[in-house]
Amino acid sequence: GAGVSQTPSNKVTEKGKYVELRCDPISGHTALYWYRQSLGQGPEFLIYFQGTGAADDSGLPNDRFFAVRPEGSVSTLKIQRTERGDSAVYLCASSLSGNLNTGELFFGEGSRLTVL
């Protein structure tokens, strides 16, 4: 498809389990972002990749969260020892380059994570 693709669209897991969320950005987009959105809140920044490297990971809440983008395209957000408070929609976005003067991030439909 032409847009940002995220899988799974829904994930239900138990407290303490490990979870991986995948993002396939728009082809040719070098910048990739992960956000987290809770009900009634705006998207909360987690991490930003420029190519393969994490250019800014200041939004990751703690060391249970980790993200990779080994080949500069697909990215995986990994959450260890999940907690109920991790329940949210995890949004991935990409942009053509790291220059956000146009401000246009293209978002995927999100992965809804529910931790029981």
Structure tokens of 93?
């976005």
Closest to other proteins by CB, 25 vs 110, is 110
The residue (of 68 and 96) whose beta carbon lies closer to other proteins is 96
Cβ 58 to other proteins shortest distance, Å:
8
Residue with smaller CB distance to other proteins, 4 or 115: 4
Report how far residue 55's alpha carbon sits from residue 70's, in angstroms, rounded to the nearest whole number: 14
3-state SS, residue 85: helix
For the residues of 38-76, what is the DSSP string, one character each? -TTS--EEEEEEETTEEEE-TT--STTEEEE-TTSS-EE
2: which residues sit within 8 A by CB, 6+ positions away? Answer: 26
For other proteins, which is the closer residue by CB, 3 or 16?
A: 3
The footprint of other proteins (CB under 8 A) covers: 31, 33, 35, 40-45, 48, 50, 55-56, 58-59, 91, 98-105, 107-110
Nearest distance, CB of residue 104 and other proteins, angstroms: 5
